[in-house]
Amino acid sequence: LDQRDGWIWFDGQLVPWKEAKIHVLTHGLHYGSSVFEGERAYGGQIFKSTQHSERLKRSAQILDFEIPYTVAEIDAAKRLVLEKNGLTDAYLRPIAWRGSEMLAVAAQQNKIHLAIACWEWPSYFDQAQKMKGIRLDIAQYRRPDPATAPSTAKAAGLYMICTISKHQAEKKGYADAMMLDWQGRVAECTGANIFFIRDGVVHTPIADCFLDGITRQTVIELAKRRGLEVAERRIMPEELAGFSECFITGSAAEVTPVSEIGPYRFQPGAITKALMDDYSAEVQPKSKAA
Ligand code: PMP
């Protein structure tokens, strides 16, 4: 990924892709002082760009640093890098971190950096294939207690247990892993939120110790717009046997049906399909009023 041609927005400049480098003594690398975003552009428009930029700023503040750009400046930088790379349908990855002036746990004077990369990552259009659903493992690690980790920040450090869990799942032939929370309730996947359907009602865990995804919020709104009841509640893993459909949501995953979680089986059905269609329609670029 680091050997491509293209441009990366780096501390206010557009730099050639291969030259967007940092020093090995970067605080963000040693101590996890790094926050990021994952978002998509559809037809040249970044879906909910401002919400993502706001979350990036907020994630940094939770980690006790301030990104030296405003939300409007971050939004503009994302549009600029997308345009410079000649992309209209792409994934964007803004990342902010503490620099390399000092290497110790405390590094209050270190410079705060911001970089934004983007690359082509088409959304999965083959609906029939997608409706077969993906298979999920149940992760060994749990989402931490919010008293233990800054669980509402999209912080790089929180992804350590996600990478381990996803690797373990992949080694067993699964696409991803569902994680429980510190209390043993269903939480989310390693990079996406999770939803279940039973008797026409949409169920999803309360986002009290994991990311309340922008896609999660969008899908809840879309379900309500369809007149569906949405129950945000505590879901125990034993309950999975009673759900008929399951899907995961995320900026990258969009709405992806699930067919299997450990011993539990689901049949992606009409509600999942309807919400996939609604989401595809929702992300389409809004025509600019003349
Ligand atoms: N949970 C985790 C751990 C994630 O990495 C993501 C992807 N950012 C999500 C949930 C979904 O968030 P969003 O819908 O805002 O992309």
User: Within this chain, do residues 206 and 259 fall inside the same structural domain, yes or no?
Assistant: yes
In the predicted structure, residue 284 carries a pLDDT above the cut 90: yes
**209 occurs within a structural domain:** yes
Chain segment 229-239, per-residue pLDDT in tens? 999 999 999 99
Burial class (CB within 10 angstroms; exposed 0-12, middle 13-18, buried 19+) of 172: exposed
57 is catalytic: no
In the predicted structure, residue 40 carries a pLDDT above the cut 50: yes
The pLDDT, as a whole number, for residue 286 is 85
Closest CA to ligand 1's atom 12:
213
Q: Could you tell me the pTM of the whole model?
A: 0.96
**172 occurs within a structural domain:** yes
Chain segment 167-210, per-residue pLDDT in tens? 999 999 999 999 999 999 999 999 999 999 999 999 999 999 99
Phi, psi of 175, rounded to the nearest 5 degrees: -80, -35
Residue 94's domain comprises 7-119
Closest CA to ligand 1's atom 2:
191
**1 occurs within a structural domain:** no
Count of structural domains within the chain: 2
Closest CA to ligand 1's atom 4:
191
**2 occurs within a structural domain:** no
Predicted ipTM > 0.95: yes
Q: How far is CA 221 from CA 213, 224, 286, in A?
A: 12, 5, 18
- Using the mean position of ligand 1's atoms as its centre, give its distance from the Cα of residue 22 in Å: 26
Give, to the nearest 10 degrees, the angle between helix 49-62 and helix 214-225. Answer: 140
Three-class secondary structure of residue 41 per DSSP: strand
Q: For ligand 1, what atom is nearest to the CA of residue 190?
A: 3
- Section 49-59 average pLDDT: 98
The last residue of one of the domains, among 68, 86, 119, is 119
- Section 241-268 average pLDDT: 97
Chain segment 80-131, per-residue pLDDT in tens? 999 999 999 999 999 999 999 999 999 999 999 999 999 998 876 677 889 9
Q: Which residues line ligand 1 (CB under 6 A)?
A: 38, 188, 191-193, 210-211, 213-216, 249-251
- Using the mean position of ligand 1's atoms as its centre, give its distance from the Cα of residue 177 in Å: 14
Q: What is the CATH number of the domain that holds 169?
A: 3.20.10.10
User: Within this chain, do residues 132 and 106 fall inside the same structural domain, yes or no?
Assistant: no
The pLDDT, as a whole number, for residue 290 is 44
- Using the mean position of ligand 1's atoms as its centre, give its distance from the Cα of residue 30 in Å: 24
Mutate to test the pocket of ligand 1, among 154, 186, 247 (most ligand atoms within 8 A of CB): 154
- Average per-residue pLDDT for the chain: 96
Residue of 48, 78, 154, 166 with catalytic role = 154
Closest CA to ligand 1's atom 9:
192
- Using the mean position of ligand 1's atoms as its centre, give its distance from the Cα of residue 198 in Å: 24
Please write down the HEC assignment for all residues of 65-123.
CCCCCCHHHHHHHHHHHHHHCCCCCEEEEEEEEECCCCCCCCCCCCCEEEEEEEECCCC
The last residue of one of the domains, among 63, 89, 119, is 119
The last residue of one of the domains, among 75, 100, 119, is 119
Nearest to 136 by CA among 2, 268, 274: 268
Chain segment 217-229, per-residue pLDDT in tens? 999 999 999 999 9
